[in-house]
Structures are given as structure tokens and as C-alpha cells.
Amino acid sequence: MWWWLATPVSLVRAPIDPAAKLECVSYAPFRGEQTPLNSTAIIPAAQIAADMAQLAQLSKCVRTYSIDNGLDQVPEQAAKVGLKVLQGVWLGSNRLKNAAQIAGVVELTKQFPNVITGVVVGNEVLLRGEMTAADLVGNIRSMKAQVGKLPVTYADVWEFWLKNRELYDAVDFVTIHILPYWEDLPIRAKYAAAHVDSIRKRVAVAFPGKEILIGETGWPSAGRMREGALPSRDNQARVVSEILDLAKREGFRVNLIEAYDQPWKRDLEGTVGGYWGLYDADARALKYPAGVPISNYPAWKLHMSLGLGLSVLVFLTGMLTLRRKPWSPRFSAWLTVAVSATVAGALLGVAVDKLLYESYGVGRWMQWGALLAAGVLSPLLCAYATMSGRSLPTFLELLGPRPYQNRTFTTVLLGLTLIVTALIAAQTALGFVFDPRYRDFPFAALTMAVVPFAGLMTVNRRTAGTRPIAEATFAGLLVASLVYIGFNEGPDNWQSLWTCAIYLLFAITLWRARASQIQG
């Protein structure tokens, strides 16, 4: 499996070619816990200088979006390494802040006339609904009146340019954002470059006589699927490579989003929002150096070793259980252990990889860490229960009245693992129903946990007793949710389909539970 998942991809054109610098790349300096959401945070000049020195090796220009948080230092540091700056003015609903932004940028254009090559007055302010087109035009004209012949533009998603054509006369060139992943009808990676070219030509017809700058385009390297659009390292490299090759052949300018991964965006846009960078956030390492094949799982050997180790532990647990309680288990018991061991071993590396990418903040580390722990414990505990002839415990055995309680150590541990899995499954399922856009699909760790539960319920099912209300409620919730999720996410999203299949398997497992009073 790992040979297939981790097979490196070699592209005809290197995404980042040292011999052919990028025209421009979006720049935000934030690392670790730094965030522009903290208005008092100021990025040190030395940090920006280090980034500029690195970016000067692959780009001719950087695009900024604001002068807040110390970003007013960018032109000075860019000048030292020969970079040009496409200077941004952040506009919003606060008129006083807008005026301060414009005044600050006007001052920068006077200080660094040979560095700042253009000014972007506002970024997606129409998309956010924070300003009318008429007010935006007023701000653009105000800027133009103060910066002389310096080109001025506005940047927004391409559709908002077509909806607000009055902007055309106010700008010197048209700056559009084309993000195939975020389209209302998401575009697969293999069609992304063609989509960018098609939209660019469509906008050029609508706005003849002025340059069409693609102000943002790119692809995420991690995060959840949207229909058939899959974020991954090799897809990001492929899309960037193909768009840059297209731009070179057809002679148009492209600004890639973005230079560095931005962890703070994961609070607003989920995992996928933080992984659009050409460099990773912490090590500042280029994701795909020229001449190096690209793998979605560069640490696959470690992942495979961990998985093999877990599989061996599951088999050993089953074998050692038989030594302590010698009897002749049915073939189905051994098959259950084998399936659990294989599934857990195969998916452990994927689950660990997802944990590292998708956990941001204490809450998510706890949630995904608990689910991964359940995914590791479930096959081990279920192997023990399977080979010792025990059933999957019910919630009543841990939380119910005394006649139903079974407080042996292994029962409690297995029951807690079951409860944690049920709670996280229910929480994620409801999330996909009510607020799905930025949520990650927990298919790997959830599968590791649920498959052993289902196997144990199949081979050692308790037939006597009544159906517990709690398990039945969770089962009903999961079934109702998966129907909506499957319809909402569509048939092209294999992450969604996989997750829904596991929700269904878990629902069936919980529905088959039976509770009875413990004798004696």
C-alpha cells in the first residue's frame, strides 16, 4: 500500500525553477502562533528580512495585503535584496482605518518609488460585503490622485469583477483571483490550469484594453476534499507547474498564493486554509525543490514501520490471550483479528500524518489525538476480547445502574474507547451536517477504531437483552447524518464516501448492541 501512496511524482517542468524566477508571490510573515487577528502583534524586521532574502532566490516580486502588524517594513527589506513589491491596502468597513491604510501606503510609495511597482487598493472587500462598489471606486481614485503615475488596481475573485464592471474605469489594470479549489463547483487538480486559462480569457473579453493580472492562484497541499478537488503535495506541485508553464507560453503575469504556509488561517478556513504556501511555515523549507521527485508521504518508511509494528502487536495480543485461556476459537475469530490488524497497520501512518497536519490549537490536538488513541487501542483490546470470548461492552456497563455494570479493567478500557469513538463520530457527523465547509474527514483513525468494534460485535455478539437507548440514539444520528453528508458532498469526494461508509458500519455495530443485567 505504501509503495502506491508514496510513489514520487516527477514533473516535466519543475514548479519552482531557480533559473526562471516567479513574477510575484503573495507574502505574509506570520509563523507559529503569530497572527494578524492580534492587531497589536508586530513582526520583527529581522524576521521579514530573512524571508525577503529567501524569496529573492525564487521570485522577482512579493505581493502584500496590508501595512499592519509590521508589514510596512516589507518595502525597506525587499529593497535590500532586489525584490519589487506589489503593495496592498487593506480596506474594510471602518472608514477611519481605511483612511489610515491609504495614507500609510502613500507615504511608502514616496519613500520607496523604485521598489513599489503598483498598489492594490482593497482585497476581496466586495466578496466580504464590507464596502459598496461606489465607495471602493472612491478609495481607488483617492489613491490614484496621491501616487502619480504608479499603477493602481483592485483585487477580487473573478466573478466579482464581472458583477461590478464599473471598477474597470477606475483601475490601471485588472487583478483577478482564480482559485480552482474554492470555486462554487470545485475543479479537479488535473483541470486547474485549463480552468485558470479559460477564466482569464473570459475576463479579458469583458475588460479589453487593460492587462489582466492573476493576483491569486494556486492549490493547497493539505486539507479536506471538495467534490473531486483533492489537496495534496503532488497536486499542488502539478497545478503550480502547469499554471506557470501556461503563463510563460501565453505571456501573462501570475502571482502565486502564497510564499509560506500560514497556520493562523486554519482557525478561519480549517486545515486547508493553512497549506497554500510554496514553503512550509516552521522550517521555511521549499516543499518541492527542483529536480526532486514529489511524494505525498515523504516519511512513508517510518509510517510503514509503525503500521507493521501495530499489526504485529495486534496478532501477538490475540495469540497471548489464547495462551492464558486455551480453547479453540472459530476461524471467524482469527479472521476478525487479522482484518483488524491489517486495517490498523495500513492506516496508522495515514492517521498520524493527518493528525500532524490537521491539529491546530489545544482543542483539535485533544480531539484528533483521542481519536487516534482509540484507533490504536481498539484493535488491541478487540483482539483480546475476541480471543477470550467476550462481547463488545455497552455504555450501560460503564455508566449505567449497578445491575448492568461490569467494571473489569479490560471492559472499562474497551468501553471507554468505544465511548470516545462514538462521541467524536457523532460530533464530526453533526459538524458535516451543520457547518461542513472547513471540516476535515476523519476517515483513517475512525476506520482503525470502528472496524475492530464491528468485527467483535459480529463474532462475539450478545444475543440476550434489550437494545440500549444510548447506542440506538447514536446509531440513528449517524445514519441520518451520513445520508445528508453523502448527498451534500457529492459522489466525487472519496474522503466523504469513505467516512460515510464507516459511519454506517459504526451505526450498524451500535444498533446490534444488547444490554442485560450482570448476574451475581
478 sits in which H/E element: helix 469-489
Nearby residues of 225 by Cβ (< 8 Å), 6 or more positions away: 231, 441, 489, 493, 494, 495, 496
**DSSP label at 188?**
P
CA separation for the pair 333, 341 (Å, rounded): 12
d(CA 415, CA 411): 6
Angstrom distance (rounded) from CA 293 to CA 295? 7
pLDDT at position 297 is: 87
Helix segments in 211-361, DSSP class H: 233-250, 266-273, 300-324, 331-358
User: 301 and 3 in contact (C-beta within 8 Å)?
Assistant: no
Q: How many helices (H) and strands (E) does the chain have?
A: 17, 8
Within 13 Å of residue 148, how many CA atoms lie on the same side as its CB?
7
pLDDT at 301: 86
CA angle 192, 23, 152 (to 5 degrees): 100
The verdict on pTM exceeding 0.75 is: yes
Q: What are the domain boundaries of the chain?
A: 21-273, 300-511
Which residue in 463, 448, 474, 476 sits closest to 515, CA to CA? Answer: 463
- Quick one: fold of 21-273? TIM Barrel (3.20.20)
- Report pLDDT for 404: 53
pLDDT of residue 520: 43
Along the 520 residues of the chain, how does pLDDT read in single tens digits?
766 676 777 676 667 777 789 999 999 999 989 999 998 999 999 999 999 999 999 999 999 999 999 999 999 999 999 999 999 999 999 999 999 999 999 999 999 999 999 999 999 999 999 999 999 999 999 999 999 999 999 999 999 999 999 999 999 999 999 999 999 999 999 999 999 999 999 999 999 999 999 999 999 999 999 999 999 999 999 999 999 999 999 999 999 999 999 999 999 999 999 999 999 998 999 998 877 888 888 888 888 899 999 999 999 999 998 877 666 778 888 999 999 999 999 999 999 999 999 998 899 999 999 999 999 999 999 999 999 888 899 888 787 666 555 667 888 899 999 999 999 999 999 999 999 999 999 999 999 999 999 999 999 887 777 888 999 999 999 999 999 999 999 999 999 999 999 999 999 999 998 766 554 4
